[in-house]
Structure 1
Amino acid sequence: MATRSPTAERVEALIRRLDGTPLCNECIADRLDLSSAAQAGAATQGAGGVGGFELLKASCGLCGEPRHVIRYKG
């Protein structure tokens, strides 16, 4: 079984805290002070479709931009 990175755990925790709010990688990176949106993207791609996380094209709940986002459907 593969272990998740600390970054992936932080990203997933943020998405869960904002229960149902769609978040883009740019806003996730900004909120968690990550070095790039690509770091957030790696974590969201791994979480998408698993454990209540859903990837979709929608407006980000933080910046309002139409982007690829992730949300927690719990």
Structure 2
Amino acid sequence: MVADILKRRAAQAGFDPAVVETLKGHSARGGAATMALAAGVSINDVAKHLRHRDINSTRIYDKRQPWAGNTAADNLGL
């Protein structure tokens, strides 16, 4: 049911139909975890939110690019 809602809303928002078809209910969970981590929420707090006992389970959800926001150009303010 969650996947159906995500797909319907993504289609209404104009997402590429090929992308819409790849969405799963778990996509929202992973996206929320990644966005929280990117916003500076500690991995421990994200783990609590996801109800993970093992922090390694939470790390699986971290889809941030390791280089994003930490390049030489970023550090120079470019």
TM-score, with structure 2 as normaliser: 0.38
Name which one, 1 or 2, has greater alpha-carbon Rg: 2
Higher share in strand:
1
Q: TM-score, normalised by structure 1?
A: 0.39
**Greater fraction of residues in helix:** 2
